[in-house]
Structure 1
Amino acid sequence: MTNERRVLVHSDKNALSGSVAARFLTKTVDILEESAEAHIVLTGGSVGIAVLAAINSSSARDTVDWSRVHFWWGDDRWLPEGDAERNDRQAADALLDHIAVPGENVHPFATSDSGLDLDTAALAYAEELAEHAEDGASLPRFDITFLGVGPDGHIASLFPDQPGIRVTETTTIPVRNSPKPPPERLSLTRPAINSSERIWLVLAGADKASALGLALAGASYTDVPAAGAKGRKRTVFFVDQEAAAEVPESLIAPSY
């Protein structure tokens, strides 16, 4: 178990999304050669969705046996089904509606019009995660978890100095009073995220430079949640030049 943290810098957002897409396709093929199925956790945001669109447009897209891939989400907004602001809707438009993934392999959070309240929806997602776990565990083996990073350093819907970033006893939480609209959300907890074999944080833009620099400099994860994202095998920050402005040279990897 290497538990490496690496920063890979790309020239711009387009190069970033294309590179991450290519690496994802290659790694997923490798995972499926060793395992019966793969579990992938998706994120939202402009860069996260750009990566999914790049996967869809890649000539290597169908080298993956999508029937053996499960998709989960790190968080989502508490909005009605089909709302354009939901991460699951954006992911479907960018990739999932275009590949041969069975419907039962796609695991979105409940929607605000599902008939569930926010707390029950969080419990329901935790139960669904446990149903796909092995040996009585509470989570599947997440092979790759994608995360975006906000200018404030938040990941999923775990925000600085908010109660959610400190939760350790559950895998999912309801989020209220989010500093970023909408105020109500559902999210994986930090321990659930960190159960992942690989965490890939993908971020672009000068407004992310300070948060990234603080995360890599050892800031407290309660102040900068991105600092607390650590995959079991590897943690990789895929960034563009602007976001990398405050990254120490010693952490920038020439290759992966």
Structure 2
Amino acid sequence: MTNERRVLLHQNKQALAGSVAARFLTNMVDVLAKQDEAHVVLTGGSVGIAVLAAINESAARDTIDWSRVNFWWGDERWVPRADAERNELQARDALLDHIDVPPGNIHAFGASDDPAEAGVDPLDAAAARYSAELLAHAPEGAQYPRFDVTLLGVGPDGHIASLFPHRSGIRERDASVVTVRDSPKPPSDRLSLTRPVLNSSDRVWLVLAGSDKASALGLALAGASRDEVPAAGIKGRYRTMFFVDSDAAAQVPENLIAPAY
């Protein structure tokens, strides 16, 4: 299999979410036919959660043996565990609470109201715990699992996960998890996987909808630096796909777009 980078155009956000959901389910069937378990990285945001809801609503949902699928997150907001802004809570509401996935297969980041460790900064401690959990599920000699699919949203500024332009997080090479403080997008404190972890995935799927994403997408595909547009520095091991609606694709050259409807 060779590395590919493709842009798939959809008429609107609903069609985009349905397309990603259908492709995800098909991919999980293929992955689980070849290996014992799968590792998936989830994203938050309105489009990312819409994809999870579309998976839940699909007639093919229960063709997957969810007991063999592990779910991780690309990033998380440092808020209480029951906060509606938390990516984990939104993912549970949209999909995870509706499928037969063991609790141990859901690898959520820590929350701001988790019990604190004496003398340790809570955000730093949460990053260390998630790094340790990644390591515990990694192949021998690796720091993190071999991810099969990583879903990512892209912000209007080109950020992915909680790796923002011109911040140290996008340049981190050694750590698997970084803390984010004074984020340009609220809430100010966050946790995020780093670029090497995201790029370790066999397939990276970036999902974008809306005209406010057009500039970031255009710059990412035009070869902008990862410091300026973090999405430009993301590339799956085998395949990188941009699932976009017509508004987000406004600044993408036509020769890069493959219609998906």
TM more than 0.5: yes
**Whole-angstrom CA distance in 1 between matches of 2:172 and 2:114:** 25
**Whole-angstrom CA distance in 2 between matches of 1:214 and 1:3:** 20
Is 1:87 matched with 2:96? no
- Structure 1 partner of 2:69: 69
Normalized against structure 1, the TM-score is what? Answer: 0.98
**Structure 1 unaligned spans of 5+:** none
Is 1:53 matched with 2:58? no
| 1:2-81 matched pairs, under 5 angstroms | 2-81=2-81
- Structure 2 partner of 1:111: 111
- Give RMSD over aligned pairs: 1.1
Secondary structure of 2:196's match? helix
**Structure 2 unaligned spans of 5+:** 117-121
C-alpha deviations, 1:155-197, integer Å up to 9, x for none?
0000000111111111001110100000000000011100110
* Structure 2 counterpart of 1:202, one-letter code: V
- Structure 1 partner of 2:217: 212
**Whole-angstrom CA distance in 2 between matches of 1:48 and 1:165:** 21
Q: Contact 2:208–2:244 at 8 Å: present in 1 too?
A: yes
1:162 to 160, 167, 185: 167
* Structure 1 counterpart of 2:191, one-letter code: L
Normalized against structure 2, the TM-score is what? Answer: 0.96
**Whole-angstrom CA distance in 2 between matches of 1:90 and 1:29:** 24
Number of equivalences: 256
* Structure 1 counterpart of 2:258, one-letter code: A
**Whole-angstrom CA distance in 2 between matches of 1:136 and 1:121:** 23
- Structure 2 partner of 1:99: 99
Is 1:172 matched with 2:195? no
Deviation (angstroms), 1:252: 1.1
| 1:139-150 matched pairs, under 5 angstroms | 139-150=144-155
**Whole-angstrom CA distance in 1 between matches of 2:156 and 2:3:** 25
**Whole-angstrom CA distance in 1 between matches of 2:57 and 2:193:** 29
Identity of aligned residues (%): 70
C-alpha deviations, 1:28-58, integer Å up to 9, x for none?
1100000100000000000000000000000
Deviation (angstroms), 1:136: 2.4
**Whole-angstrom CA distance in 1 between matches of 2:142 and 2:99:** 29
